[in-house]
Amino acid sequence: MRCPYCGEIESKVIDSRPADDGERIRRRRECLACEKRFTTYEVIETVPLMVVKKDKSREAFDRQKLLTGLMRACQKRPVPLQRLETAVDDIEQSLLNTLNREVTTLEIGELAMKELKAIDEVAYVRFASVYRQFSDINTFMDELKDLLSRKNFQK
């Protein structure tokens, strides 16, 4: 860290403590050349998660948009909001764990369907019908049959 007084690069840390509810670290430093003290703040550098849409346009990942979609699928279902917020947390963490800074709407949709399948099957079918854009009733029935066969297989 360059000294603001003499420009020397070498300094030592005298004191460190969290600042802004742990979002930053406040460091008290002393220049090794002029021995003057100064304060620096260290923050985590975050790279935004970008979503690549079907038309190849890009936008920043929006947790609220995902939560709204899940809430719409669970409308009039006995699913607590807290459970949906946890699902959004899990989806976001899965996306961040891939270390890719760009994800497709396809990846987000598949993770959302996986979460909804575990939460509520009716909400899952609702979400899948919009997300997968079922072209006709047969495609819809195929998805329901697949869901029922997996459910019967697990028993």
Predicted local confidence at residue 137, as pLDDT: 72
Residue 1: which residues within 8 A CB-CB, separation 6 or more?
9, 11, 29, 40
What pLDDT, on the 0 to 100 scale, is given for residue 19? 86
φ, ψ at 24 (rounded to 5°): -135, 165
**Alpha helices in the chain, H assignment, sequence order:** 63-73, 81-97, 105-119, 121-131, 137-154
Mean pLDDT of 13-31: 91
pLDDT at 148: 75
Between 24 and 147, residue with greater pLDDT: 24
* pLDDT tens digits for range 115-149: 998 999 889 888 887 877 666 677 777 777 877 77
**Among all chains, which residue has been given the structure tokens 């899940």?**
70
The ranges assigned to domains in the chain are: 11-43, 50-154
pLDDT greater at residue 76 or residue 155: 76
The more confidently predicted of residues 49 and 21 is: 49
For 25, the enclosing helix (H) or strand (E) is strand 24-31
**Two tokens at 55?**
């038309």
pLDDT band at 154 (very low <50, low <70, confident <90, very high): low
Containing H/E element for 58? Answer: strand 58-60
Could you report the per-residue pLDDT of 93-109, keeping only the tens digit for each? 899 888 888 999 989 99
Q: Average model confidence (pLDDT) for the chain?
A: 88
Give the model's pLDDT for residue 102: 94
Measured distance CA(104)–CA(124) in Å, rounded? 20
Are 47 and 101 within 8 A, CB to CB?
Answer: yes
**pTM for the whole structure:** 0.63
Could you tell me if 107 and 153 are in contact, meaning their C-beta atoms sit under 8 angstroms apart?
A: no
Instruction: List the end-to-end C-alpha distance of the chain, in Å, as a whole number.
Output: 62
- Taking the C-alpha atoms of residue 83 and residue 113, their distance in angstroms, rounded to an integer, is 14
Q: What mean pLDDT comes out for the span 14-37?
A: 92
